[in-house]
Amino acid sequence: MTLPRTLVLLFLVPAAALAGGCGSKGAKVTGQLVMNGAPYSAPAGATLQMQFLPTNMTDPLPTCSAQPDPKTGEFEVVGPVVGQGVLPGKYKITVSGGVYGSGPVKDIFNDAYSANNTPLVYEVTADADQKIVVDLGKKTVTKQ
């Protein structure tokens, strides 16, 4: 007895894709925002947002994001698929924040870390767990 060709393809094509690296997990990237070495605490009522953008826009790397705790600055970067992590590659990091309520929201960092202005760059490696410190005062990213 032979299996129909369509049934064989249904099993072989996904298996080949997984063997080729599709679906592989990226790194778990966690860290903390600091200001000149001290933990960063946002103004009362502020919300913080971070994005990891590929440094080379022609790279097929997806954008990843994090929402730092406004009181401690601690964050975990969420990959494009929850639980899959951040793919290895070089990223520029944007940081923004604002107090939402009445009136227009102004970035509390005056766009110093916007996509066009950020000096913050980090290369995610193949290491499964990576902890970084993003120093907004020194404008550095350090792997711990």
Q: Answer whether residue 1 is part of any domain.
A: no
Q: For the ranges 10-14, 22-26, 41-45, 120-124, which has the lowest average pLDDT?
A: 10-14
Please report whether residue 125 resides in a domain.
yes
In contact, 23 and 124? CB cutoff 8 Å? no
Domain extent at residue 106: 25-143
**45-100 pLDDT, tens digit each:** 999 999 999 998 788 889 999 999 999 999 999 888 877 899 999 999 999 999 88
Which amino acid, one-letter code, is at 41?
Answer: S
96 within a domain of the structure (yes/no) = yes
The pLDDT assigned to 24 comes to: 55
How many domains does the chain fold into? 1
Q: What pLDDT score was predicted for residue 104?
A: 83
69-81 pLDDT per residue, tens: 999 999 999 888 8
Q: What is the CATH number of the domain that holds 110?
A: 2.60.40.1120
Alpha-carbon distances of 117 from 80, 95, 120, rounded to whole Å: 24, 10, 9
**Angstrom distances, CA of residue 84 to CA of 9, 40, 87:** 26, 28, 8
CA distances from 126 to 26, 29, 90, 123 (A): 7, 11, 12, 10
Is residue 42 assigned to a domain? yes
The answer to the question of residue 53 being in a domain is yes
Query: Does any domain span residue 16?
Result: no
28 secondary structure, DSSP code: E
Q: Is position 47 within any domain?
A: yes
Model-level pTM? 0.80
Per-residue model confidence (pLDDT) at position 64: 95
In a domain, 14, yes or no: no
Give the pLDDT confidence score for residue 8 in this predicted structure.
37
Place of tokens 């200001």: 35
